[in-house]
Amino acid sequence: MALKKGDLILFQGDSITDCGRSREDLTDLGPGYPHLVAASLGALRSEQELRFLNRAISGNRTSCLLDRWSEDCIELRPALLSILVGINDVWHREKGIGNTDAELKANYTALLTRVREELGDIPVVMLEPFLTPDSVANIKREEVDSVRAIVRGLAEGFGATFVPLDAPLAAVSEAFPPHALTKEGVHPTEQGHAIIAKHWLDAVLPLL
């Protein structure tokens, strides 16, 4: 895959990716892993003057992405799309606004199908939903594992680059005190975002 000068890299997902980005400045990436990826990739590919946008929205589920996919993805015409979504589909089930595994898979399939049909064979990076071992969130590990398997399978089926995060974060967390990488098992700290950015770059840079 060869990115061209001025190509757009788009980040999509929920609060993990949103990370409090500004709604007034639409070029703001927030302080999380999208910012760290953009800083590194922008420096490594400075001659290409790559553009980066973050359109993730806190609280989003796969169904929410599907509702806004035209405006916040297709119409932006990204040259590379990065997605991290799925944990809220599980987390919000107790509130009655989550999605079942079948619904999540159908929604995600619809998202990826539109990308392939309307944007062609652009690179798609799919990050793995995760739950760190020190989690105090009301989320069942077996439900997260089921979603992880769905996302991995869809990445394989759609020819996307899959970025494992669950096991890497668990392994690194052994060297840190509880909640050093995530606040409650889901939302990364500064160190957690740095680890996510590292694994994103490790998976994607060899393809560029």
Q: Is residue 25 part of a domain?
A: yes
Instruction: Give residue 145's pLDDT band: very low, low, confident or very high (50, 70, 90).
Output: very high
What is the pLDDT at residue 2? 74
Q: What is the CATH number of the domain that holds 107?
A: 3.40.50.1110
Q: Is residue 169 part of a domain?
A: yes
Q: Is residue 2 part of a domain?
A: no
Tell me which residue of 62, 124, 71, 70 sits closest to 98, measured CA to CA.
62
Q: Is residue 3 part of a domain?
A: no
What is the pLDDT at residue 96? 84
> Is the full-model pTM beyond 0.85?
yes
* Domain count along the chain: 1
Domain that residue 22 falls in: 8-207
Taking only the tens place, the pLDDT of each residue in 54-93 is: 999 999 999 999 999 999 999 999 999 999 999 999 998 9
Q: Is residue 37 part of a domain?
A: yes
What is the pLDDT at residue 95? 82
Q: Is residue 1 part of a domain?
A: no
Average pLDDT, the chain: 96
